[in-house]
Structure 1
C-alpha cells in the first residue's frame, strides 16, 4: 500500500517568472496564489493542480532542458474538459508571444483522444490533452 496520497505541487524552473506566470493566468485561466520575491518564486493553480514556478538565476549559465539528454521533466500534461476547449486554447497558445508550438491538436493514436504539445515562454514543455468522449 502506498504511503503517498497524490501530487501536492510540482516545482518548475523557468526562464522568466513574470512571463510564465502571465501565460498560465492569461492564456490558461489559472489563479496566482503566492509570490515570494526573495527567491523569486510564484505559485499558480487551475483549482486541481498547483505549480510552483522558480526563476532561474541569470547570473549562472542558463541551459534549456533537453528532454532527450537530461534527466528530469519530459513534459507536463494538463487535461482540458472538452474538444472545443482544446481547440480554443490551442488558438490562444499559438498567438501568445514566445510560445514554440511542437504540434497543434491532433489525435492520440487512433483517437478519439486529442492533444497538442508546445513550450510556454518560460521553456517548459506542455501538453494539453482532451481525453475523448465520455
Structure 2
C-alpha cells in the first residue's frame, strides 16, 4: 500500500481564534503550533491532527453547504462511551457560537449514537459512540 493513513486534515475556518479555542478549550485538544504570519494553527487529540487555516477576510467568505460543496461533508470524532457522548454534547451545546443540528440520538436502529453540530468557525462536526 502506498499510503499509511492521514497525517493531518486541513480546514479553512471563518475565525481562526474562535475555532482554535473551540478545539483546545471546549474539546480539550492540544495546541501544537500557531503561525500568525500564515495564519494557521495545528491542534490534536493525540490521535487526530487538524491544521486550521484562517479564511481570507479580504475576500467574500462563503459558508459551507454540505449538499452543494465538493469536499468535506463533516468530520466525525469518536468517543469511548455513551456517557462521554452525552457529556461532550452538553458541553458543545452550551459553547458560544455552536449551532446544534441534533442532540445525541441513535444511528439507524442503534445502539450506536451520535450528535451533529457546527463549531463557531463553521466546520460541521459529528460525535459518535460506536457502541461496540
Identify the residue that residue 110 of structure 1 maps to in structure 2. 109
1:26 deviation in Å?
1.2
Q: Deviations over 1:67-112 (max 9, x none)?
A: 1111010000010111101000011101011100000000001111
Q: Secondary structure at the match of 1:85?
A: helix
After superposition, give the CA deviation of every residue in 1:9-62 in whole Å (9 maximum; x if it has no partner): 000000111100110111111000000011100000000000000000110010
Match of 1:120 in 2: 119
Partner of 2:23: 24
RMSD, matched Cα = 0.6
Secondary structure at the residue paired with 2:20?
A: helix
Q: In structure 1, the residue corresponding to 2:17 is in which secondary structure?
A: helix
Q: Distance in 1 between matches of 2:106 and 2:36?
A: 41
Partner-residue secondary structure (3-state), 2:104: strand
Where in structure 2 are there 5+ consecutive unaligned residues? none
TM-score of the pair, normalised by structure 1? 0.97
Partner SS for 2:21: helix
1:96-133 Cα shifts (integer Å, max 9, x gaps): 1110000000000111100000000000000000000x
2:115 equivalent to 1:98: no
Q: What are the equivalent positions in structure 2 for 1:1-134 lying under 5 Å apart? A: 2-132=1-131, 134=132
Separation in structure 1 between the aligned mates of residue 26 and residue 114 of structure 2, nearest angstrom: 17
Q: C-alpha separation between the residues in 1 aligned to 2:69 and 2:94?
A: 29
**Please, which runs of 5 or more residues in structure 1 have no aligned partner?**
none
Q: Which whole-Å CA distance do the structure 1 matches of 2:128 and 2:35 have between them?
A: 31
Report runs of 4+ in structure 1 exceeding 4 Å deviation.
Answer: none
